[in-house]
């Protein structure tokens, strides 16, 4: 899975690097992966994409959801939720679940880490219409405080802050990776129950979702993730595997990593009281 800051960053880099190039070949499922998903038969991707010109790359363009990279190639749309990398002419990647070659010899590859989709669909197709979820990107004006508060409707009061923010694709592109800095900035523990949060807490949480994701996107993604050219992003994570060995930058206490809800959570027990 790819998260919103990297989707935004890589989409911009695709626009700058690939727009106007023509696809000469596409190979899907070249190195099979158990959790790589395609549209219909991946062996037909070459036939579908050859001769198509790259028009643009975008995230949160409205075709599907904000956590994806969406690349318009002629009358086709690639929907990518995996790490995407550029390769200069002659630089063939070792393994890939999708490899696209362009008329100047350069290539773009997708490599699934845990799981990911590499969909190829005609623009305007019924399948694409069914995928459109209508959820606004947290980077958009439509994602305002009123909309954020509406996400709580019908949820169990015992749901945790992590489950609220980072499960069920409630907020496009917000996953377990970006979650930790968002919660740290509000001093909310990932396991804290929604019923313990007051209206000021939810206001702080809304502002942190907007501001933290905006900072991550503007700085080219997180320093724990790679961009289109294989470089780490410029946003320095507060809570991640990279910072675990350092004391908390606010209180000086040691940071904690635990397994919770199918993944690791990072927090400062001093700043984020449970």
Name the pLDDT band for 201 (thresholds 50, 70, 90): very high
d(CA 45, CA 71): 14
Q: Which domains does the chain have, with CATH numbers?
A: 4-131 (3.20.190.10), 145-268 (1.10.8.50)
d(CA 114, CA 12): 24
The pLDDT tens digits of the residues spanning 30-59 come to 999 999 999 999 999 999 999 999 999 888
d(CA 11, CA 78): 12
- pTM, full prediction: 0.93
Residues 6+ apart with CB under 8 A from 130: none
pLDDT score of 260 more than 90: yes
pLDDT score of 75 more than 90: yes
The pLDDT tens digits of the residues spanning 108-138 come to 999 998 889 999 999 888 777 777 777 889 9
pLDDT score of 65 more than 70: no
What pLDDT does residue 60 have?
61
Alpha helices by DSSP H, listed for the chain, are 4-18, 45-49, 126-131, 145-150, 161-166, 176-184, 199-218
Which is more confidently placed, 274 or 266? 266
Half-sphere exposure of 180 (CA within 13 A, CB side): 25
């Amino acid at each position: 899975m790819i998260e919103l800051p990297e989707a935004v960053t890589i989409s911009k880099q695709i626009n700058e690097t690939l727009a106007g190039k023509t696809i000469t070949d596409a190979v899907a499922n070249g190195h099979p992966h158990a959790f790589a998903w395609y549209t219909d038969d991946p062996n037909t991707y070459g036939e579908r994409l050859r001769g198509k010109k790259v028009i643009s790359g975008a995230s949160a363009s409205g075709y599907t959801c904000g956590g994806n990279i969406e690349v318009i190639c002629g009358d086709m749309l690639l929907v990518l939720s995996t790490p995407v990398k550029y390769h200069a002419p002659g630089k063939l990647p070792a393994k890939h679940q999708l490899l696209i070659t362009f008329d100047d010899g350069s290539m773009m590859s997708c490599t699934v880490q845990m799981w990911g989709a590499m969909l190829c669909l005609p623009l305007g197709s019924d399948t694409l219409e069914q995928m459109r979820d209508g959820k606004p990107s947290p980077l958009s004006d439509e994602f305002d405080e009123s909309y954020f508060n509406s996400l709580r409707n019908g949820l169990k009061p015992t749901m945790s802050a992590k489950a609220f923010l980072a499960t069920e694709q409630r907020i496009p592109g917000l996953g377990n990776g970006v979650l930790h800095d968002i919660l740290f900035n509000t001093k909310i523990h990932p396991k804290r129950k929604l019923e313990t949060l007051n209206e000021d807490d939810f206001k702080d949480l809304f502002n942190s979702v907007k501001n933290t994701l905006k900072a991550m996107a503007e700085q080219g993604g997180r320093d724990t993730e790679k961009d289109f050219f294989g470089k780490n992003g410029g946003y320095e994570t507060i809570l991640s595997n990279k910072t675990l060995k350092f004391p908390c930058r606010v209180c000086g206490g040691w940071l904690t990593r635990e397994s919770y809800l199918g993944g690791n959570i990072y927090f400062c027990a001093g700043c984020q009281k449970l």
